[in-house]
Structure 1
Amino acid sequence: MPQRLTDIPVFENEDEERAFWATQDSTEFINWDNAEETVLPKLKPSTRTISLRLPEFMLDQLRVIANKRDVPYQSLIKMFLQERIDEELRRSLTGSVEKISE
């Protein structure tokens, strides 16, 4: 027999609602078995500012390439880093599989 859910109270403001949910178990109010996964495509990943020292010639080359691709040079650096990270992860996963199968 399904559990009877408690009605969610009406809140006067977000602070009141936040305080309520901080002390309550949501399963008493919401049937999570009926929940659907939601994709939020416009959310930006959180970023952190770092200081990276590059030789001037390398920065100049990056700016030239970025200009040809019509993207900001910092975005180009992130693209290059992501490509290399993906490559390294593929290699490490492939290497792990090869070692296991030997």
Structure 2
Amino acid sequence: MSKRRKTAPDFKTEAEERAFWESHDASEYVDWGVAESVRLPNLKPSTKTISLRLPAALLERIKIEANKRDIPYQSLIKAWLAEDVDRHG
């Protein structure tokens, strides 16, 4: 016999739903044993804008490297940071 699940309330806003799930155990509402995996190929990871001060000469060198690789310099900086964190993290 399966466990009886609670019914989640109807939410008026996304913020209200987020607050609810932050304070409630989803296992009381969802039977994860019957859940199916989904792929979301077009979902982009969330990003946060930051301000980063670089010496002008360093930024120019980065832009030259990015131009050689035909990618935006911000993308090159992100790739380099990710590689370094993976290597040292």
**Shorter-chain TM-score above 0.5:** yes
Deviations 1:50-95 (CA, angstroms, capped at 9, x unpaired): 1111111110010011011110000100000001000102xxxxxx
Deviation at 1:45, TM superposition (A): 1.6
> Using the alignment, how far apart are the partners of 1:70 and 1:36 within structure 2?
39
Q: Which one has a bigger Cα radius of gyration?
A: 1
2:26 corresponds to 1:17: no
TM value normalised by structure 2: 0.66
Where structure 2 has 5 or more consecutive residues not aligned to the other structure, the ranges are none
Report what 2:53 is aligned to: 53
Q: How many residues are matched? A: 79
Deviations 1:26-52 (CA, angstroms, capped at 9, x unpaired): 767754321122232322121111111
Where structure 1 has 5 or more consecutive residues not aligned to the other structure, the ranges are 9-15, 90-102
- Inter-CA distance 53–30: structure 2 relative to 1 (3 Å threshold): closer
- Inter-CA distance 5–86: structure 2 relative to 1 (3 Å threshold): closer
> Using the alignment, how far apart are the partners of 2:26 and 2:83 within structure 1?
40
Aligned residue runs from structure 1 range 1-102, under 5 A: 1-3=1-3, 17-19=10-12, 31-89=31-89
User: More helix by proportion, 1 or 2?
Assistant: 1
Report the RMSD for the aligned CA atoms in angstroms: 2.9
Deviation at 1:3, TM superposition (A): 4.7
TM value normalised by structure 1: 0.59
> Using the alignment, how far apart are the partners of 1:39 and 1:55 within structure 2?
41
Structure of higher RCO (CA pairs closer than 8 Å, 6+ residues apart): 2
